[in-house]
Amino acid sequence: MSSSSRVRVGTLVPFAEGKSGSPNASPPMPSIPILEGSNVVGRSNLVAVDKRVSRKHLSLRALPDGSVEVVEGPNPIVVRSEGQRRKVCAQQKAKVMHDDVLELIPGEYFMKYVNTSDERKSSTSVESHDLKKGKRHSEEDSVAAKRNRQVMEDEALARTLQESFAEESTSVTEVLSSLDSVGSSERNKERTDSVGPLKDVLPLTFRLMRVQGLPSWTNTSTVTIQDVIQGEVLLAVLSNYMVDMDWLLTACPSLRKVPHVLVLHGEDGASLEHLKKTKPANWILHKPPLPISFGTHHSKAMLLVYPQGIRVVVHTANLIHVDWNNKSQGLWTQDFPWKEANDMSTNIGFENDLVDYLRALKWPEFRVNLPVAGDVNINAAFFRKFDYSSSTVRLIGSVPGYHVGPNMKKWGHMKLRSVLEECVFEKQFCKSPLIYQFSSLGSLDEKWMSEFACSLSAGKADDGSQLGIGKPLIVWPTVEDVRCSIEGYAAGSCIPSPQKNVEKDFLRKYWSRWKADHVGRWYALPFPAAT
């Protein structure tokens, strides 16, 4: 039967979330007539191309009574009916009635189904329709309130953890104040707003990065690269794997004003040649040595030296646009003041962690003149000039090679084991699950997995007993996760691994899916890769 001879039984009408009946502002879609029989909804129905929406995103079968059945869809959609929100995955079916809402991508592309016969009836029953609509909105508001409450609870938990760390050290607020108190009062007054790490947002040392295209509530307390690199930076050390110099200088133009910048990277070939051509003249490039034939340098960190102290940042994103804008990434950051002259000989675990790792990178020393330190060599030892006594974490470095003797517990999971063995935990942490998340999968075996689990489960309970080995869980995205992410299938390029590594039988019991609906991150794939 040709479409011209088929009867229209309803219409899919786009609307913006929370504004029923108004045009869908972003991304736009036209109304879609639904004809009796089979209907296909897909990318061709969009005004702007979005590769997350396939050409045949879902098939609908419209019945003579005006009801519609979702009969096929390789991509997950959401059907909202009578206050209930149901996710419909591939090969599943769902009934769609008048006034029900379809989300072609969970959280986006809202389409309300309007039955033609019910549309006619609505003119004579506006009052009852409004009551029904009001009830539905009330239920949706309840869901939104529950979601916001969950976000607040998560943030409250994070604040509680931060406060517990601060009981044994200087609080984050005090650290910021101490940075501002160094140097002349007039100079500090000028820099009060520019150097405080994350002023006007929650005083936590861990942040998610802002993701473009998500609802505003999901980006609460997130940061951009400009939030991290700000103020009068005298010296910057940027460590990463991939570096897009054109994007970096555009996204963070203040970097052009930094007089001394060292970039530690893992680039090679044509990418490295382009990096050399596009870098500012005063920037130094260094690719750390790899003593073995496997791996690459991909430690993601920043060391930013200010007149008041240093900002240490450990993050999970390459210095490229898609990592800082399209994926769920995170960073840890804390500021530390310069040491007093009589404290130069003192050091703590965090300081040794940092300096030992920087020494292993073997960058060529260079000499600079800093207003607050004079003429100094920039090497690993230079970073002992800062007071890390307020640090709330330990750094676990990973250095390629084969380590024996004392070096066995200096790097990697054996270093983590030695740190945790000195920690005491509450009884509730006994046999806590072990969650592993990474962006590339090497060749794992049972023996190594067992060793790794032992390292992560090290430590004692407050009654003196061992914590016990927790259940390991490997978070790895499914095809559906990739397809429905912000970048669609293109995001799959960020999870490289040979099929033979992923399909090992013994790994099946470890696989787990990542989900963060309550913070709106279910369609921004997480790819942390900081080591």
Predicted local distance difference test score (pLDDT) of residue 228: 94
Look at residue 171 and tell me whether its pLDDT is greater than 90: no
Q: Which residue, chain included where needed, has tokens 């998340």? A: 437
Catalytic (active site) residue 315: no
Dihedral, CA of residue 519, residue 521, residue 522 and residue 525, to nearest 10 = -150
Comparison of pLDDT for 173 and 464, the residue scoring more: 464
Rounded mean pLDDT, 315-320: 95
Highest mean pLDDT among 85-94, 273-282, 294-303: 273-282
* Other Cβ atoms closer than 10 A to 405: 7
Look at residue 271 and tell me whether its pLDDT is greater than 50: yes
Look at residue 183 and tell me whether its pLDDT is greater than 70: no
Predicted local distance difference test score (pLDDT) of residue 407: 86
Confidence of residue 173 (pLDDT cuts 50, 70, 90): very low
Predicted local distance difference test score (pLDDT) of residue 73: 65
* Domains in the chain, CATH or no CATH each: 8-115 (2.60.200.20), 202-401 (3.30.870.10), 403-530 (3.30.870.10)
Predicted local distance difference test score (pLDDT) of residue 368: 95
d(CA 466, CA 477): 33
CA distance readout (Å), 370 to 258, 307, 358, 382, 386: 12, 8, 20, 12, 14
Comparison of pLDDT for 67 and 375, the residue scoring more: 375
Burial 109-123 (b: 16+ CB within 10 A, else e): bbbbbbbeebeeebe
Percentage, residues of the chain above pLDDT 90: 40
Q: Which one of 260, 297, 298, 315 is the catalytic residue?
A: 298
Question: Which two three-digit tokens encode residue 145?
Answer: 């309130």
Q: Is residue 300 part of an annotated ligand binding site?
A: yes
Burial of residue 6, with CB atoms counted within 10 A of its CB: 0-12 exposed, 13-18 middle, 19 or more buried? middle
Comparison of pLDDT for 457 and 406, the residue scoring more: 457
Predicted local distance difference test score (pLDDT) of residue 479: 86
Question: Which two three-digit tokens encode residue 112?
Answer: 């309300």
- Bridge partners (DSSP) listed for residue 115: 10
Question: Which two three-digit tokens encode residue 140?
Answer: 């949706």
Among 118-127, 294-303, 342-351, the least confident range: 118-127
